[in-house]
Structure 1
């Protein structure tokens, strides 16, 4: 009996010990390591997000190129159709001339008898008649020969033009096939990056949940220690407050930033989108600036040509941040102040506010 009671007491003691240990404040080393893990996972997600934006940009470029080739193929086919019609018309002319040629022979037949040119010559009644018939036959023969040569030459020229157009179309179809392969590869790469990003986001959420748990335990312990202070120490010192990450609230800025903030977490990314029902990155910029009377083109490579360049330490809300090469950026965002920016990130996400990432150039419109 005593052994049983002792076992229960020992088990209870172990439970309370484990429970107290689990609720105990984490060490600074644990907090630092957890924060490092969270920062690294956030950076990984950000890197993959940037990679995804580049892939989307590549897909958009291929789609534009493919659309141009499709248009050229349609034009080439239309030209081939016209040439085919010309070839048919040329052949009809040749057939008609051959018919006229036959009619001319029949007209020269004497008394309905089937006579050739040589018979017509031999049938001359006098020397002068012979000379006249020979000249007539020569003229008709030369005329027929020249006319047929011209018609055949024209037909040959048109057929060569058709062959050239067919060759150009074949080259375009080959390019179209290459673009289709590029598009398949890009979409495959996008699927791979998306899978990695989803995995990274899951890891980031796990790290964040653990960090938040440790931070909550740390705050609880800190509150407990502060409550043990004397009223005198409380009156002589103010409690400290942790500074949270600055987030720009919707509508806190006027003008372009205030307009863009209206769509945060509400409007989805849509490729080619330029309306509140869906934006791509440059479409969001174009729309917001249009509301304040500034007309910008719908393409990052064109928008970067507008405004004046601004240094990174002199940014103001409303400045445009471009990512990628300076001459042909793949992404653009609107600086919102406080180290934050508003962007239409990529397919599958809404317009959102996010910390500023390293950018290639900033422009003030």
Structure 2
């Protein structure tokens, strides 16, 4: 099958989640001709894949998209329906140029024209390419769940799954569940599971609990610490890694039941459970890996954007905060400090302004 190559555009946006939609809105507002390539079959980004039991009362928060306040939620609405419906309406009302399902396989230098980037895509079964003067990468992390390796892991006779495939708490009723991970998601899953079944919690490090109020100033400080990592070319860490953990009211019952008594990391996995270095053994039916995600940026590998320190180094000023130092044609939103719904909105505007600046230059 011959490959369709589209005429050059000013920009291509990869991903139609919060960051991608925000970027597209601001690009359109600035008159930048672009297309948004989204791997999913329908609007909603990662929200489409959340478990059915997750309601709008449980989510940490969804920021308003630019120029479109989120409809009020009563609480019991399924998040994997409510948020995608909001995103779909936003795409329609703002006539955003989204193409789907478009899986971006590689982004590379266009050999025919060094000023252009070549975005190679699988559009259904059809190979297709877009050429662009700039790129906004908003592919998020959902497609890159991370599961660490431990000796004996392949011998476990029970069920192992990453939170990306979490089916809801009822699936685990009457099963002893080992939750692995020290982040906010582990706390949230323990909060949902402990009231319905027996749980254990293990982390590599002692959890750091935040007791003081998390005000806007604390939020800015936390984002600044994460941003400093990407300015240095280090792999990004989550904002929670520097803010500490907090319990929400809906996790109070799990706390009362002892869900947050943490154990150190085990040494190996055995068919019936896990064993520590001192010989202690705990039998479990399920291992739930709440071990986070990695940035979905492998399609950018041909551009060689990674620094020797393992991350993609971004600019050091507010105007260049989303811009790749190695290739200023490339903007990354939803990466590092902008990996939140609020941060993604701000990054979308920053990226769009940087794209226009680059095109003018």
Greater helix fraction, Structure 1 or Structure 2? 1
Greater strand fraction, Structure 1 or Structure 2? 2
Q: Which TM class, normalised by the smaller chain length? A: under 0.3
Larger radius of gyration: 1
For normalisation by structure 1, the TM-score amounts to: 0.21
- Larger RCO, structures 1/2 (Cα 8 Å, 6+ apart): 2
For normalisation by structure 2, the TM-score amounts to: 0.21
